[in-house]
Amino acid sequence: MTKIIQISDPHIVPKGQLAYGRVDTAAPLKSCVETINRMLPNIGPVDMAIVAGDLTDFGTAEEYQLFRDIMEPLGIPYCAIPGNHDNVAAMRTGFADQKWMPNSGPINWTEEFEDLALVGLDSNVEGEAHGHLTDATLDYLQQKLAALQQKPVIVAIHHPPILTGIEKMDIQNLRDSRKLQTILSEYHGELKLVCGHIHRNIIASFGSVICQIAPGTSHAVSMDLRVGAPNCLTKEPGAFLLHEIRGGILTHCIPIGQFDGPHLFYPDKS
Ligand SMILES: [Fe+2]
Ligand SMILES: [Fe+2]
């Protein structure tokens, strides 16, 4: 029973700085690592974690080093895909020692487990907020899916190809996604698409597959579905996802932090 944790959008900034002048992003990622490590005996074993993009806010070498320093105590290995806030070249250099990091081209990789495969795809468009998958990336996905035959698959892309109703994010989603939809929908096994970018837990259909967007670790894009709503963040509690094979692919959303409990519902009955 493969289990994968998904962390998304940590937006690490240089030490001592706040993202957008108001969000401490390092402390919530540290808290996320602590939460996962504390929970592992109850929810594990977990095979690996994926960080679904926007590891850093500005894509600098200093930020990638700080990200790695904060993630270092995590009790499971992790892979990462770039988001729009990342810089593919700097990220490649920052993780050059990791076997999942390709030497050149888009940061696409595949990890195979006994009953699940995880495919990470690079949707970064340099200097742009929206996402796009190049023909090379779509070919990579197509070839990987063909080789996996009917094995359950999670495909991870930072930018969601769906519309969420949050207007300022929908204009920077994954563009030109028709071919992706065809490739995913034609897969013969179970397949789930997981994303980041919106910093909210959102679930939708994309063709014949389920698309789930992960919450962020430190701040959410504000919940405002009005036309013309301003582009805002809200410091909602951070969370991460746990994907596991339990019959099919099942996903839990777990808040970051330490909370009162667990308490027995009926202590007298033990
Ligand atoms: Fe983000
Ligand atoms: Fe993003």
Residue 187 Cα to ligand 2 middle (Å): 27
Alpha carbon 247 to chain centroid, angstroms: 23
Of all ligands present, the nearest one to the C-alpha of 8 is 1
Residue 159 Cα to ligand 1 middle (Å): 9
Q: In this predicted structure, what is the pLDDT of residue 269?
A: 87
Residue 53 Cα to ligand 2 middle (Å): 7
Say if CB 194 and CB 209 are below 8 A apart. Answer: no
Residue 87 Cα to ligand 1 middle (Å): 13
Q: In this predicted structure, what is the pLDDT of residue 101?
A: 98
Of all ligands present, the nearest one to the C-alpha of 233 is 1
| Cα–Cα distance, 27 to 32 (Å, whole number) | 9
Of all ligands present, the nearest one to the C-alpha of 199 is 1
Q: In what order do the strands lie in the sheet with 3-7?
A: 78-80, 48-51, 3-7, 239-246, 248-255
Comparing CA positions, the residue from 194, 86, 93, 74 lying closest to residue 101 is 93
Q: In this predicted structure, what is the pLDDT of residue 270?
A: 64
Of all ligands present, the nearest one to the C-alpha of 131 is 2
Residue 107 Cα to ligand 2 middle (Å): 16
Of all ligands present, the nearest one to the C-alpha of 57 is 1
The encoded tokens of residue 205 equal: 């259909």
Of all ligands present, the nearest one to the C-alpha of 128 is 2
Residue 131 Cα to ligand 2 middle (Å): 9
Residue 196 Cα to ligand 1 middle (Å): 7
Which pLDDT tens digits describe the chain residue by residue (270 residues)? Answer: 999 999 999 999 999 999 999 999 999 999 999 999 999 999 999 999 999 999 999 999 999 999 999 999 999 999 999 999 999 999 999 999 999 999 999 999 999 999 999 999 999 999 999 999 999 999 999 999 999 999 999 999 999 999 999 999 999 999 999 999 999 999 999 999 999 999 999 999 999 999 999 999 999 999 999 999 999 999 999 999 999 999 899 999 999 999 999 999 999 986
Q: H/E element holding 160?
A: none
| Cα–Cα distance, 122 to 124 (Å, whole number) | 6
Residue 54 Cα to ligand 1 middle (Å): 5
Compute the Cα dihedral for 31, 33, 34, 38 and give only its sign.
Answer: positive
Residue 236 Cα to ligand 2 middle (Å): 17
Q: In this predicted structure, what is the pLDDT of residue 248?
A: 93
Q: How far is CA 71 from CA 17, 127, 201, in A?
A: 18, 26, 22
Comparing CA positions, the residue from 249, 255, 120 lying closest to residue 196 is 120
Residue 158 Cα to ligand 2 middle (Å): 7
Q: In this predicted structure, what is the pLDDT of residue 162?
A: 98
The pTM of the whole model exceeds 0.95: yes
